[in-house]
A = this chain, B = another copy of it.
């Protein structure tokens, strides 16, 4: 039986921090998160090339909110954006701080949590905050790119004079070393790359164009074709922002099929971070050409239905 480890509402927080190289700084931030009772650290992805890292933790909503503020505060103290280099666009030490509903909580409730955390980040650490995605307060600030735009160096001047660039919380001026932070709420996303048996990045780019939402592909899927110099091969790098709408295996199958039409094989695929069990289940369900299927045919689901009084044996007449 799959475990329900923690009871009650459960939120994940996935701060993207502008430090991917110094293990002491990252350990200090992780340690600030881990010190909040009830919070569990789940993952850390370091990206030294882009000098960024992504920390994943989860727990009850209030604990996760507090831990997010602690993480953002530690990042603000320890990271100086004026000395930061890396090609990835960024505006602050604690660059992006998304809250993700995992269990017994809505996206809207996570948005409320994100706004409260952002407010505290400003109050306690003097770092102005923008809100994005489900926590956005303005229709032109739903997407990260709209807020991040040209990055820290541009924004620290633009925010002072351009109302359009003014933070949602805090003064016009960015924090001199920590910049600004973007807090938000979003659905769980899957970061997923498929490696191609070719060094030709154009193949990867053509595949990416066909599968991504922005050019008419799968809804909620972002994709780029890139060249992996270390392995001498092309990669389709994807972010699946709604895996219930565009399941992982559908995306994979599409990449494989389009590549096959160009006579290119798949070397393998890579997960960055974690993926929800449900994404594998959805793939598993499609494997068997079921003539009839409903999710209550999964034992654990049937048990859940029965335990909540929602399962009746169909077609059985009541006892005489």
Using a CB–CB cutoff of 8 Å, the interface residues on chain A facing chain B are: 1-6, 10, 12, 23-24, 26-28, 30-31, 40-44, 46, 58, 102-103, 188, 195, 248-249, 252, 266-271, 274-285, 287-293, 297-304, 306-307, 311, 313, 315-320
| A42, B306: Cβ atoms closer than 8 Å | yes
| B5, A307: Cβ atoms closer than 8 Å | yes
Q: Distance in Å from the Cβ of A254 to the closest Cβ of chain B?
A: 13
Number of copies of chain A assembled together: 2
| A27, B300: Cβ atoms closer than 8 Å | no
With a cutoff of 8 Å between Cβ atoms, the chain B residues found around residue A293 in the complex are 271
> In the assembly, what is the distance between CA of A299 and CA of B319, in Å?
44
Choose among B195, B275, B317 the residue that contacts A23 (Cβ–Cβ < 8 A): B317
With a cutoff of 8 Å between Cβ atoms, the chain B residues found around residue A301 in the complex are 277
With a cutoff of 8 Å between Cβ atoms, the chain B residues found around residue A268 in the complex are 289-291
> In the assembly, what is the distance between CA of A23 and CA of B316, in Å?
6
Q: Distance in Å from the Cβ of A223 to the closest Cβ of chain B?
A: 16
Q: Give the nearest-CB partner of A276 in chain B.
A: B299
Q: Distance in Å from the Cβ of A239 to the closest Cβ of chain B?
A: 16
Q: Give the nearest-CB partner of A306 in chain B.
A: B40
| A285, B280: Cβ atoms closer than 8 Å | yes
| B311, A42: Cβ atoms closer than 8 Å | yes
Q: Distance in Å from the Cβ of A161 to the closest Cβ of chain B?
A: 40
| B252, A288: Cβ atoms closer than 8 Å | yes
Q: Give the nearest-CB partner of A253 in chain B.
A: B287
> In the assembly, what is the distance between CA of A27 and CA of B316, in Å?
7
| B274, A298: Cβ atoms closer than 8 Å | yes
> In the assembly, what is the distance between CA of A278 and CA of B22, in Å?
39
Q: Distance in Å from the Cβ of A294 to the closest Cβ of chain B?
A: 10
Given contacts A24-B317, A318-B27, contact A6 B303 (CB under 8 A): yes
With a cutoff of 8 Å between Cβ atoms, the chain B residues found around residue A43 in the complex are 302, 313
> In the assembly, what is the distance between CA of A118 and CA of B317, in Å?
29
With a cutoff of 8 Å between Cβ atoms, the chain B residues found around residue A298 in the complex are 274-277, 280
Q: Distance in Å from the Cβ of A296 to the closest Cβ of chain B?
A: 9
| A277, B306: Cβ atoms closer than 8 Å | no
> In the assembly, what is the distance between CA of A195 and CA of B289, in Å?
10
| B288, A44: Cβ atoms closer than 8 Å | no
| A4, B1: Cβ atoms closer than 8 Å | yes
Given contacts A102-B1, A269-B289, A316-B44, contact A299 B274 (CB under 8 A): yes
| A319, B287: Cβ atoms closer than 8 Å | no
Choose among B40, B284, B300 the residue that contacts A3 (Cβ–Cβ < 8 A): B300
Task: Taking A40-B311, A42-B311 as given, write out 11 further A-B residue pairs in contact, using a Cβ cutoff of 8 Å, ordered by the A residue number.
Answer: A2-B278, A23-B315, A24-B320, A40-B303, A42-B302, A249-B284, A268-B290, A271-B293, A274-B297, A280-B285, A283-B283
Would you mind naming 10 contact pairs between A and B with Cβ atoms under 8 Å apart?
Answer: A5-B300, A5-B303, A24-B320, A27-B320, A58-B306, A248-B288, A252-B287, A267-B291, A274-B298, A280-B283
